[in-house]
Amino acid sequence: MLTLHLSPATSSMAVHIALHEIGVPFETKVWTLAQGTRTPEYLAINPAGKVPALVVDGTLITEVAGGLFYLAKRYPEAKLLPANDPLTEARAVSWMSFLASTVHPARAKGMDALAEAWALAEKKFGEDSKGRDWTLGSYSIVDIHLFRLYWRMVNTPGDRPTGLKGLDGHYAYMMARPAVKKTIDVESKIAR
């Protein structure tokens, strides 16, 4: 059994999108940030007090990257990460570490840090996608992780830096995907 602990419109959205892409049965448990993911009940599930937490048959997987990597490897038929390709896997780990350690925390450091992080992401995206739609050439968990952070920025008034042509195009491709539309629809109906 797969259980996704989520809070709507937050980091957990990335794992939620991947679950919809794969089409595997799963259940969700909602912890709104307003009510607090730091309640004793949630801390008993994830001592870090953060979402997402993906529980696989009783085993806890924390961090967006952890959940996405597990799902991509467990369900290879969904083609969310090229199989038997160490170089592409390493590039995926590189991207997801960059997104979690540099891009995600940038907003909390102020607008200059946010603009700097996204300018770096735009450059990295241009180099890695080589003019194609997706970050690693074909669609992968990196696109999902990247999109979730970009989506948050686009939907936070005043946060969107200009001149991110590659990432703007990527955002449009992602918004057209049925799994993305479904996730946004489902999460928009959850009270925050």
Ligand X SMILES: N[C@@H](CCC(=O)N[C@@H](CS)C(=O)NCC(=O)O)C(=O)O
Give the DSSP per-residue string, 123-185: HHHHHHHTTSSBTBBB--HHHHHHHHHHHHHHTSTT---S--HHHHHHHHHHHTSHHHHHHHH
Task: Write out the binding residues for ligand X, residues 11-30 only, by CB under 6 A.
Answer: 11
- Distance CA(138)–CA(134), nearest Å, equals 5
Q: Which is nearest to 10 in space by CA: 41, 25, 31, 29?
A: 31
Is residue 10 near ligand X by the rule CB under 6 A?
Answer: yes
Nearest to ligand X of 52, 82 (CB atom)? 52
Two structure tokens written together for 63: 């961090």
Q: Which residues pair with 59 in a beta bridge?
A: 56
Stretch that binds ligand X, among 17-25, 32-40, 121-129, 156-164 (CB under 6 A): 32-40
Which is closer to ligand X, CB of 11 or CB of 183?
Answer: 11
CB of 176 to ligand X, least distance (A): 24
- Cβ closer to ligand X: 51 or 164? 51
CA distances from 6 to 13, 94, 140 (A): 7, 25, 21
CB nearer ligand X, residue 42 or residue 139: 42
Min separation Cβ 131 and ligand X, Å: 28
Is 49 an interacting residue with respect to ligand X (CB under 6 A)? yes
Question: Which 91-150 residues touch ligand X, going by CB under 6 A?
Answer: 100
Whichever of 107 and 137 has its CB closer to ligand X, that residue is 107
4 binds ligand X per the rule CB under 6 A: no
**H-run or E-run covering 56:** strand 53-56
Q: Does 5 sit near ligand X (CB under 6 A)?
A: no
Closest Cα to residue 64, out of 24, 99, 114, 90? 99
Amino acid symbol at 174: M
Amino acid at residue number 157: P
Stretch in the footprint of ligand X (CB under 6 A) among 17-25, 46-54, 81-89, 182-190: 46-54
The reply on whether position 60 binds ligand X by CB under 6 A is: no
Among 3, 28, 30, 33, binds ligand X (CB under 6 A): 33
Which residues here bind ligand X, judged by CB under 6 A? 10-11, 33, 37-38, 49-52, 63-64, 100
